[in-house]
Amino acid sequence: MPVTVTVALGDRSYPVVLDTSGLTGLAAALSAATPRRRVVLVTEDVVGPLWADAVVAALSGFVVDRVVLPSGEANKGVETWYRCVDAILRLGVDRKTPILALGGGVLGDLVGFAAATVLRGVPFVQLPTTLLAMVDSSVGGKTGMNHDVGKNLIGAFYQPVLVYAALPTLDTLPVAERRAGLGEVVKTALLDPTPGADLLGDVERSADALREGDPNATARIVGACVAIKAAIVAADEREAGQRAWLNAGHTVGHGLETAAGYGVLRHGDAVGLGLVLETEWAVRAGLCADAALPERLRGLLLRLGLPSEVPSLDRRVVVDAMRADKKTDGASIKIPVPARVGQMTLVDVPVAHLDALLGASLGSG
Ligand code: NAD
Ligand code: GLY
């Protein structure tokens, strides 16, 4: 039986369906989300050949137009967004035609932004096919794309009407991509504010099973992460407060990702490294009382099969990329760091002091 988590946003509330058996419930879930029987399925050139036919077959009773975009972080930019909206407009859609995004976080973010901008907004459905997209990016309505200056600098908050995660789509995901998704799992487990919960301990106890892609452990952790994200988004949709916790690891992570060149360092891998470096800094700065936490996180990344050492990059290029973070007010950046597991502190770090977050990695500052 599929599990459904609701993102409670009043009349914009929507279900996140986690289906361990596949796509059998998709047509019913889509019918409940929209009265329309004609939809546009947008996917990318890796996921499309693997899963688009299965999605179309599951959507019996629907007329499905298809659009295929180039895959990969390096294609999460304005050219691909233009290709997407151009193709959608040429299909002759109207303001009620649902756009379905079948793919990982790159495709979902980009198509979400296309759905937000075509005709000033058409209904949007996320069909996430990576672990990262299931646990994080498909939920919460952050859409957008990269610019040379920095990650995700162009975008909009635009909530989907439905998220349908068919867990068996993970069967074709390359191992390194699946493991990269565990970077966002560790982030969510670190910040989980649920009283009495111990998701970080659970991830540690399940680390071997998660690294090897055990379906039961994976489904359980996806459910836990989605529930946490749904609650945070429902309480703070526009990131006025607690939603900023979800940016843990991302200031350093985005800096590393941008400096390496989009598509070189996986987003989830970069977030994992960012969590370790930002937590080390928090301990040095006296903001985190748990001095053992950085090593605990590093050890967990290692067990999960993620990189735990920072790749060799030009420190100045990384710091410049960190400065371009969209959470800056020009003088400082609000960075969430753990005071302890389950409790983040938002710290205003002056842009002139960002270098300190990299610590002794990447040579001296
Ligand atoms: P991705 O979408 O690039 O997917 C990773 C790779 O796996 C790609 O090569 C893709 O073609 C392939 N792939 C996807 N699904 C597959 C499947 N089922 N079988 C085989 N191959 C498959 O990367 P990602 O890690 O899913 O997403 C990273 C992106 O997510 C980043 O751009 C990041 O900024 C964004 N993100 C957004 C949010 C948000 O809240 N909107 C949150 C976290 C991350
Ligand atoms: N991934 C961060 C957020 O959705 O707010």
Shortest-distance Cα residue to atom 35 of ligand 1: 105
- Give the Cα separation of 170 and 19 in Å (integer): 12
Asked whether 243 lines ligand 2 (CB < 6 A), one says yes
Beta strands 332-340 and 162-166, pairing class: unpaired
Q: Determine the number of helices (DSSP H) and then strands (DSSP E) in the chain.
A: 14, 11
In this predicted model, what pLDDT tens digit does every residue of 16-54 receive, in sequence order?
999 999 999 999 999 999 999 999 999 999 999 999 999
Is residue 142 flagged as an active site residue?
yes
* CA 263 – CA 269 distance, rounded (Å): 11
175-358 has the same fold as 3-172: no
How confident is the model over 54-94, as pLDDT tens digits? 999 999 999 999 999 999 999 999 999 999 999 999 999 99
In this predicted structure, what is the pLDDT of residue 21? 97
Compute, in angstroms, the gap from residue 103 CA to the centroid of ligand 1: 7
Ligand 2, atom 1, lies closest to the CA of: 246
Domain spans of the chain, in order of start? 3-172, 175-358
- Candidate CATH numbers 3.30.1490.20, 1.10.540.10, 1.10.10.10, 1.20.1090.10; the one for domain 175-358: 1.20.1090.10
268 lines ligand 1 (CB under 6 A): yes
142 pocket-lining for ligand 1 (C-beta < 6 Å): yes
Provide mean pLDDT across the span 111-124.
98
* Ligand closest in space to the Cα of 134: 1
* pLDDT, average across residues 312-327: 90
299's tokens: 């050890």
CB-based contact 50:35 (threshold 8 Å): no
Farthest-apart Cα atoms in the chain, separation: 61
Q: Which one is catalytic: 179, 267, 278, 280?
A: 267
Say what the pLDDT of residue 309 is. Answer: 87
Q: Is the CB of 136 under 6 A from ligand 2?
A: yes
Alpha helices in the chain (DSSP H): 26-33, 47, 53-58, 78-90, 105-117, 131-132, 175-191, 199-205, 207-211, 215-235, 250-260, 267-284, 293-304, 315-323
Residue 365 in this model has a pLDDT that exceeds 80: no
User: How high is the pLDDT of residue 330?
Assistant: 80
pLDDT band at 364 (very low <50, low <70, confident <90, very high): low
Considering the chain, what percentage of its residues have pLDDT values greater than 70? 99
Q: Which atom of ligand 2 is nearest to the CA of 229?
A: 4
Amino acid 169: pLDDT: 98
State the chain's mean pLDDT as an integer. Answer: 96
Threshold 0.95, pTM exceeds: yes
**Nearest CA among 232, 245, 247 for reference residue 9:** 232
Supply the pLDDT for residue 328. Answer: 81
- Fold assignment, 3-172: Rossmann fold (3.40.50)
Mean pLDDT, rounded, for 269-274: 98
Active site (annotated) includes residue 353: no
**pLDDT 10s digits, 133-167:** 999 999 999 999 999 888 899 999 999 999 999 99
Band of pLDDT at residue 318, cut at 50, 70 and 90:
very high
